[in-house]
Amino acid sequence: MKRITFTTLFVFMSLLLSTGLSRAQSTDATLSDINIDIGVLTPAFNPDITKYVVLVPDGTEAVTVSPLANEGSASFSGGGVISLANQELTTITVTAEDGTTKKSYHVFMAHENCYAALFNDRVNLAPNPLMTALSGFYGGWGARSINTDPGFVFCGNTSAKITGAGGGSIDFNTVANYLEPGAFYQISAMFYVEGSGKAQIGHSINGTSVLTETTKTNEWEQVSTVVEVTSLNNSANLWLNNWQIGVAGDNVYVDNFQMYKIDNDDNLSELTFDVGTLVPVFDPEVTDYYLLINEGTTAVNIQAVASSATSLVSGDGNVTLINDKGTAEVVVTAESGNSKTYTIHITTELPDMDATLSELSVDAGTLSPVFDPEVTFYTLEVPEGTTEVMVTAQANSAAATVSGAGSLDLVYNEATSYIVVTAEDGSQKTYTIKWSAISPHSTSSQWEAYDGGNAPTVSGYMDVPFMAVSATGSTEALRIAGDETTARIYYSAADAAVVGIAANALRDDVQRITGLLPTVSTDAPSASQAVLIGTIGMSPLVDGLVAAGKIDVSSIEGKWEAYTAAVWIIQWRVLTGH
């Protein structure tokens, strides 16, 4: 029985070994390091970064590049001893154990005396910075090539060449794949314009073309630009060329192409002092402060720390005071070039911050609304013919100053006045008065009932009939607006054009006063409350009423620029045409 048990156990274990799952092959195609025997690898190695520049001392003839695969079962090609006399780029291709997963790392060689990286702590996004090849890195068009004439190479053994004025373009047409919305980028390249003309860095990153041109010829020149990605265009392009009509260079050489994501943080994270109390409490978004000190203080030391380690701070340190007062301006400049200034007023006591008025009055008309120190916009209506108004303004604080008050002229029956109050601390408040002259018979948004009397004489030959206007109705009155409805305004399409203008002007006036917008129509009248506007002899609407004896126009018939107005009760069927 023991023999049987042993045999059975042996068979079972053998079965497990023969049917067990096999190990999956690795897909890791990364490097764990790139070692070099001379120079500095830029940026520092990271398995996810695939592009590097090795900066070597002048006179270096060769560099040994030794890659190390992250997975022992992976293989790689490239690297080794790189002769700088004829090679500036080595591409290391890692093949994972599975045989299909691959990843390529590009290592460019450059002498320290010619290649100056804008940033050593981040990836250069330009596909081939030293222009060792165009194919596989750049798109474009025209007569483009790789130049090996050392007289037109800025750094290393090669540069890119565009032959002939307007001869072509080197395009980074996959640039959108490297951009982030809202981020800032610095783009730079060395240009040599042979002969005359210009070259350019151009881009359409935000949808429209932006150009940065060269300014020199027959010598190397660095051209640089900063772009904020505000509305990323997925078909964006970035180009280096000489095609611009009228200014294109004869031959153009390009080298040291660089593009980096840069910081735009221009805030402070800390603002401290060796003496005094800061008012208000520090906030990175607040840029104006008072530092309250004791009398007799002769100097203050300011310590300012930028939010970003890449930003520059100036204006901090020791500030010498005169008579217990001084001002310091701390400026934070981001990599993007944008800056923010923090101003610190150093004093023994806070200045008065009151920029309000205690009085605002005029010698003609009435301000609307009634003056309130916190209300800053007013209207003023004065009688027609008024050409001047005296505005009196008094600051609430004796330390504040007032400008803009006094005698104000009315031009073309209207004007806008601005009264500015400046507090002791420099803060300001502006009070605005918009004023206009009105006819004694015109109706404004502050209208009053009018009984129709005191009609003026127009042109010396007729009386203008003004009708009474009231806020209360009657059976004999025409209701122009009320209860969320309005009278409809009619005129004839066959009448003079100016009649239509008058009809629409009346409509707009009614809306300004009541908030209700009447309908203007050239259809046959049908509304129960209607305003009819027309010219005798030109309006079938008016002529039909005259012919039916429904309206009396004898007082104006045959006269120039005369009119009449009245209220009638009419049945619309008397009209024979429109």
- In order, the DSSP letters of 475-517 are TTS---EETTEEPEEE--TTS-HHHHHHHHHHHHHHHHHHS--
Average pLDDT over residues 65-92: 91
Q: What is the pTM of this model?
A: 0.59
Chain centroid to CA 424: how far? 33
Nearest CA to 346 out of 305, 282, 313, 299 is that of: 299
The answer on 331 and 286 residing in a single domain is yes
Residue 285 sits in the same domain as residue 255: no
User: What is the Cα Rg of the chain in Å?
Assistant: 42
Structural domain ending residue among the three candidates 212, 243, 262: 262
Any domain includes 75: yes
pLDDT bracket for residue 468 (50, 70, 90): low
446 or 283: which leads in pLDDT: 283
Cβ count near 288 (within 10 Å): 13
Give the pLDDT confidence score for residue 165 in this predicted structure.
87
pLDDT of residue 566: 66
Beta-ladder partners of 415: 435
How far the first Cα of the chain sits from its last, in Å, is: 125
User: Domain boundary residue among 299, 317, 347?
Assistant: 347
Position 45 in a domain: yes
- Do 258 and 147 lie in a common domain? yes
Mean pLDDT across the stretch 536-548?
Answer: 82
- Residue 479 and residue 380 share a domain: no
CATH number at residue 187: 2.60.120.260
pLDDT in the model for residue 576: 39
Q: Is 482 in the same domain as 514?
A: yes
Q: Does 15 reside within a domain?
A: no
pLDDT of residue 245: 64
In a domain, residue 317? The reply is: yes
* Residue 104 placed within a domain: yes
Residue 544 to residue 418: CA distance in whole angstroms: 54
pLDDT mean across residues, the chain: 84
Q: Looking at the predicted structure, is the pLDDT value of residue 516 above 50?
A: yes
pLDDT at 412: 58
CATH (domain of 365)? 2.60.40
pLDDT confidence tier of residue 5, bands split at 50, 70 and 90: very low
CA distances, 79 to each of 34, 56, 97, 371 (Å): 9, 16, 20, 82
Answer whether the bond into residue 518 is a cis peptide, omega within 30°.
Answer: no
376 and 401 housed in the same domain? yes
Do residues 64 and 84 lie in contact, with contact meaning Cβ atoms separated by under 8 Å? no
Question: 296: alpha, beta or left, given left = phi > 0 and alpha = psi -120 to 50?
Answer: left
Same domain assignment for residues 239 and 158: yes
Range of the domain at 314: 268-347
How large is the average pLDDT for residues 224-252? 87
Same domain, 426 and 403: yes
List, for residues 89-127, the tens digit of each pLDDT value: 899 999 999 999 999 999 988 877 788 889 988 899 999
Residue 361: name the closest of 383, 389, 386, 400 by CA. Answer: 389
317-320 vs 339-347, strand pairing mode: unpaired
- Residue 178: helix, strand or coil by DSSP? helix
CA distance 164 to 118: 30
Please tell me the distance from the alpha carbon of residue 119 to that of residue 124, in angstroms, as a whole number: 8
pLDDT of residue 293: 96
* Final residue belonging to a domain, choices 307, 329, 347: 347
- Please report whether residue 565 resides in a domain: yes
The dihedral over CA atoms of 269, 275, 276, 281, expressed in degrees to the nearest 10, equals 10
Average pLDDT estimate for 260-285: 96
* Within-domain flag for 368: yes
Q: State the pLDDT at residue 460.
A: 35
CATH number at residue 567: 3.30.379.10
What's the whole-number mean pLDDT along residues 129-148?
93
Q: Are residues 388 and 297 in the same domain?
A: no
| CATH number of the domain to which 78 belongs | 2.60.40.2340
SS (H, E, C) 308-365: CCCCEEECCEEEECECCEEEEEEEEECCCCCEEEEEEEEECCCCCCCCCEEEEEECCC
Q: 190-201 burial by CB neighbour count: b if 16+ within 10 A, else e? A: bbbbbeebbbbb
CA atoms within 13 A on the CB side of 544: 18
Whether residue 501 is found in the same domain as residue 560: yes
Q: Give the single-character DSSP code of 424.
A: T
Q: How many domains does the chain have?
A: 5
Write the single-letter amino acid at 184: F
pLDDT range class, residue 387, cuts 50, 70, 90: confident
Q: Are 423 and 368 in contact (CB under 8 A)?
A: no
- The pLDDT assigned to 573 comes to 46
- CB 247, CB 198: distance < 8 Å: yes
**256 with 310, same domain?**
no
Residues 341 and 367 in one domain: no
Sign of CA dihedral 63, 64, 70, 75: positive
Residue 297, pLDDT score: 95
Q: Flag whether pLDDT at 407 surpasses 70.
A: yes
In a domain, 118, yes or no: no
Query: 3 in helix, strand or coil?
Result: helix
